[in-house]
Amino acid sequence: MKKTTLLAAISILLGLSLAAPAFAQAKRGDGLRMPYQGNFWGYAGLNLGRSSYDLNCGGFSCDQHGDTAKIYAGGRFNDWLGLEVGWVDMGRADFAGGHADAQGLNFSLLGGVPVGDNSSVFAKLGTTAGHTKLTGTAAGAPSGTENGWGLSYGIGGQIGLSRNWAVRVDADRYRFKFAGDNKRDVDTLTVGLQYSFR
């Protein structure tokens, strides 16, 4: 199931990114924009929602959900392909008599289809420099902190409220390393506001 979802997300993103330059050139003819150029970075936003930790509770009571938040900024290479940088906090979830926390700095490529002036649907593929902490766990359960890089991917969409403001919905999966365990997934569903600087 997870491999199928990952392959689908990668296929969509690669397909959009391969088609993007041709479509962008046909529409605007102004070439690609790069992150070091002033006209690249064009929006920022804040999303709030719920996270779901995929943790092995080992027979202990688990509430694997937390409140999540992310703040992000992004830009577009062209009308179809972009780059986004954001800070994600997965919130706290109960784990084996203790707590699990995860957060990190995420970098993602976005491949999307614009709909109108300030609306779109998109797929994301990226990586997260993550930090996790397990505390107060029951005897025999792992405890401690870990740092590391992990895969991230997701889908989303935004609906323009005006030329500058849009409501955005994201469904993402992040992979984090936890103490005493292999890497585990944390899924998020968030809603928020995005502001475009134009």
pTM of the model: 0.78
- For residue 167, the model assigns a pLDDT of 97
- What letters, b where the CB count within 10 A reaches 16 and e where it falls short, cover 26-47? eeeeeeebeeeeeebbebbbeb
36-54 average pLDDT score: 86
128-143 average pLDDT score: 80
3-state secondary structure of 125: strand
- What letters, b where the CB count within 10 A reaches 16 and e where it falls short, cover 129-153? ebbbbbeebeeebbeeebeeebebb
Which is higher by pLDDT, 123 or 79?
123
- For residue 174, the model assigns a pLDDT of 97
Residue 134 in this model has a pLDDT that exceeds 90? no
Written as one letter, the residue type at 114 is P
Cα(166)–Cα(88) distance, rounded to whole angstroms?
20
Cα(87)–Cα(127) distance, rounded to whole angstroms?
12
181-190 average pLDDT score: 89
- For residue 149, the model assigns a pLDDT of 96
**Nearest Cα to 142, choosing from 101, 174, 178?**
178
DSSP-assigned letter for residue 39 = T
Where are the chain's structural domains?
Answer: 2-196
pLDDT band at 29 (very low <50, low <70, confident <90, very high): very low
Residue 18 in this model has a pLDDT that exceeds 70? no
Judge residue 182's burial from the number of C-beta atoms within 10 Å of its C-beta, 0-12 exposed, 13-18 middle, 19 or more buried. exposed
3-state secondary structure of 77: coil
CATH number of the structural domain 2-196? 2.40.160.20
pLDDT band at 100 (very low <50, low <70, confident <90, very high): confident
- For residue 28, the model assigns a pLDDT of 44
Give residue-wise pLDDT tens across range 46-60: 999 999 988 766 655
Q: Which helix (H) or strand (E) holds 142?
A: none
Q: Look up tokens 């992004």; give the residue.
A: 74
